Amino acid sequence: MNTKRFVLLFVVIIFAPQKVCFGFGEPITDVQISPEQPSIFDIITIESQGEFSSWTNWYDSSVLTVNELSIQLDLYFSGGSGPQVPQAWSHNEVVGSLPQGNYNLLVQMYWKVSGAEEYGLIDDYLTDFEVVPEPSTIAFLALGGLITKIKKRKENWL
């Protein structure tokens, strides 16, 4: 075996597995709304989760912005050297009650090396959900419509 092949084989065996460990993996793997079908009276929570594939990472802060029918949640993480193992994370953010409507939700994840000045965007997740009127409100509206219809029939019959 010549020297070049031995060095190449050494580099592939020793350094290739470590290259796979560096990076972020799938930073945001899922975003859910709780409750799944919120009404105007429900307290809404955004449940997001993901996984870092390396380093030691920790949650710094979050910023929630609600503009009419658009919601944005920015998550900030920092990291530094540490074990090269997958690290799962999850974050719950309480939004509160929202008016009826179809909402767009954007969750963005920012990361920086510990001690660095600025965060960089590493992933985002876009989904939508609907806030409906309270089910009992819908039932009362239907009942009111039914009573009005019966009343009109009675008036027309007399």
What is the tens place of the pLDDT at every residue in 13-47? Answer: 333 333 333 356 679 999 999 999 999 999 999 99
Using 50, 70 and 90 to split pLDDT, how confident is the model at 54? confident
Greatest extent of the chain over all pairs of C-alpha atoms, in Å: 108
Asked if residue 156 is part of any domain, the answer here is no
Task: Tell me whether strands 56-67 and 30-34 are parallel, antiparallel or unpaired.
Answer: unpaired
pLDDT in tens, 65-107: 999 999 999 999 998 877 777 888 999 999 999 999 999 999 9
Question: Structural domain tally of the chain?
Answer: 1
Work out whether strand 44-52 and strand 87-96 pair parallel, antiparallel, or are unpaired: antiparallel
Enclosing domain of residue 73: 24-133
H/E stretch holding 143 reads helix 135-157
- Which CATH number is 80's domain given? 2.60.40
Backbone angles phi, psi at 124, to 5 degrees: -145, 160
CA pair distance 34, 88, nearest whole angstrom: 20
At 58, is the pLDDT very low, low, confident or very high (cuts 50, 70, 90)?
A: confident
Asked if residue 5 is part of any domain, the answer here is: no
